[in-house]
Amino acid sequence: MRFFFLFFSATIFLLLAGCKKESASPEPPPPPPNFTLTGFQLNGKPVTATLYNVPVTPSVQLRFDGKVDRSSVTSSAISLTGGSGGVSLTTSYSKGDSVLIIQPAAPLAAITRYTFSLGNTLKATTGVVLTSGTSFSFVTTLDSTRKFPPITDDELLTLVQKQTFRYFWDFGHPVSGLARERNTSGDIVTSGGSGFGIMAIVTAIHRGFITRAEGLNRMKTIVGFLKNKAQTFHGAYPHWLNGATGDVVPFSSLDNGADLVETSYLMQGLLTARQFFNDAGTDETSLRADINTIWKGVDWNWFRKGGEDVLYWHWSPSNNWAMNMPVRGWNEALITYVLAASSPTFGVPKTVYDNGWALNGGIRNGKSFYGITLPLGPDFGGPLFFAHYSFLGINPTDLSDTYATSYFLQNKAHSQINHQYAIENPKGFYGYGDSTWGLAASDIPNGYTASSPTNDVGVISPTAALSSFPYTPTESMKALKFFYYVLGDKIWKEYGFVDAFSLNVPWFADSFLAIDQGPIIIMIENYRSGLLWDLFMSSPEVKTGLRNLGFSSPHI
């Protein structure tokens, strides 16, 4: 009994001692108060991604779990940047200073991307700094007002042709008269783009932009340079030349020789000019003779690489056939085979067309896209320049052969699919639609690509829709009016429309390319008068070449 009492007493003592020791430990300090952003909205809408079509007087509402210290609301804590730089802001408060409302002091620029930033230097009235900041972007709405006075549709087409022609006339190379590759190319001129420029000169004479004498004088400069100074390879021209010396400028490390496809675009232009300058006078007779010398000098058969049933795109004196790129359809190079078959000196047989270009029927498609049947080519048609470059001179109207019952319907279907793709807009790019369409090769932000429904990066190139006027006049006119009247302050410049734009970024090119400007002038003219089609198709050699390949048309 005494043992039990002693054990019990000792136990109580230890427990009391432990409790006393524990109660003597200091209490941990309370956690510091937080100051956090609990929600933010733009014009009353939660921000979860980039917002588009935002009014130019937006309102940003920031909600916190405490009261904002107004003295901490500075430009380092809150900013709005975009366009030309930072934006002046106004602030207001609600909910006992727990909601901060930010607005620009003046309307923002239209169709411009802005970024709003909230830094963690903002404080609560308790002195606690904001736990973490945030940022988001938005794009302001289009300014849909007319940027230029209204004119008739016919006047608008003339204006576009005249302004775009300036690229080839005012900006043509001062020595050779050839077309510079782009507006920043210096002495680099392009053979294919110069072929387009030659057809543009013919159009300009027809429209009265320049006189026949002025056009003839420029053509004498161009043809004289091509005949006497420009470097050729088995009669074919390189993609790029130095416009002052005529020396080849390599397009790539291996591409420092002939480019047969670019040569075919140049020949297309030269033959068109030959048919146009048909006066019996000495100057025009001499011009035609020089063009014939150039035309007959192209050894199309050489580009069969020893007799193959296909044409090859490139040949180089130092790299030979290293690029090894056969010209096979369906793409932009039908004109290459037509001219190769039309040559009076180095013509190729029909087997080269059938086995090489047409892949013995492999160019057929026949599938339907958006309810539109596509006779030839890749799914969805590919870039729209397929429907343009070869058909600047070749008249597709009622043109048929073994592979297509109507080349006009082929190009119309291609254009309609491209237009409908923009309406469907499967990638959700802002701005695409009935009046904003057209995917082709063009500049893009920080690069260049051949855009198409299967390679769409959100960039529209005006040449695509405008060069399709013969095939989709209604849809192309809608695009033209939108480009000119609505986007004109952004994309209508000294040489017509800039090369490309994206309303999704947004981004507007400051570039002009010969191969994109030329088809605009030419295909609008073919839509209006058929001028270039009539001239090129009047060439006796072209008629013979088309017939030799199995084409039929009332124009041959």
User: Taking the model in full, what pTM does it have?
Assistant: 0.92
Helices (H), 381-505: 407-424, 462-466, 473-481, 488-491
Are 312 and 369 in contact by the 8 Å Cβ rule? The answer is: no
- Note whether 68 and 97 are within 8 A (CB): yes
Are 548 and 401 contacting, i.e. CB atoms less than 8 angstroms apart?
Answer: no
In sign, the C-alpha dihedral spanning 202, 204, 207, 213 is negative
The first and second tokens of residue 467, run together, are 């060069």
Q: To the nearest whole percent, how much of the chain has pLDDT over 90?
A: 91
Helices 260-276, 212-228: crossing angle, 10 deg rounding: 140
CATH 3.30.1490.20 fits 37-140, yes or no: no
C-alpha 239/C-alpha 182 separation (Å) is 13
Mean pLDDT for all residues in the chain: 94
d(CA 419, CA 424): 9
- Residue 48 pLDDT: 84
Radius of gyration for the chain, computed over Cα atoms and rounded to the nearest angstrom: 34
The per-residue pLDDT for range 19-28, each reduced to its tens digit, is: 444 445 667 6
CA atoms within 13 A on the CB side of 453: 22
Q: Residue 228 contacts by C-beta under 8 Å, 6 or more apart in sequence?
A: none
Q: Give the angle 442-444-448 at the CA atoms, nearest 5°.
A: 60
Percent of the chain residues past pLDDT 70, beyond the cut: 94
Look at residue 413 and give its three-state secondary structure.
Answer: helix
Q: What is the mean pLDDT of residues 435-440?
A: 98
What is the mean pLDDT of the segment spanning 74-82? 94
Model pLDDT, residue 120: 86
Cis peptide before 506 (omega within 30 of 0): yes
Question: 498-543 pLDDT, tens per residue?
Answer: 999 999 999 999 999 999 999 999 999 999 999 999 999 999 999 9
Domain segments of the chain: what residues?
37-140, 153-548
Please state which of the four CATH numbers 3.30.1330.10, 1.10.1060.10, 3.50.50.60, 1.50.10.140 is assigned to the domain occupying 153-548: 1.50.10.140
Per the listing, tokens 């047409």 go with 358
In this structure, are residues 224 and 217 in contact, taking their beta carbons and an 8 Å threshold? Answer: no
List C-alpha distances in Å: 116 to 48, 61, 87, 93, 138.
13, 11, 10, 18, 8
Q: If we measure between CA atoms, which residue out of 440, 438, 444 comes closest to residue 421?
A: 438
| Tokens 């030979």 found at | 320
- CA-angle at 336, arms to 528 and 348, nearest 5°: 130
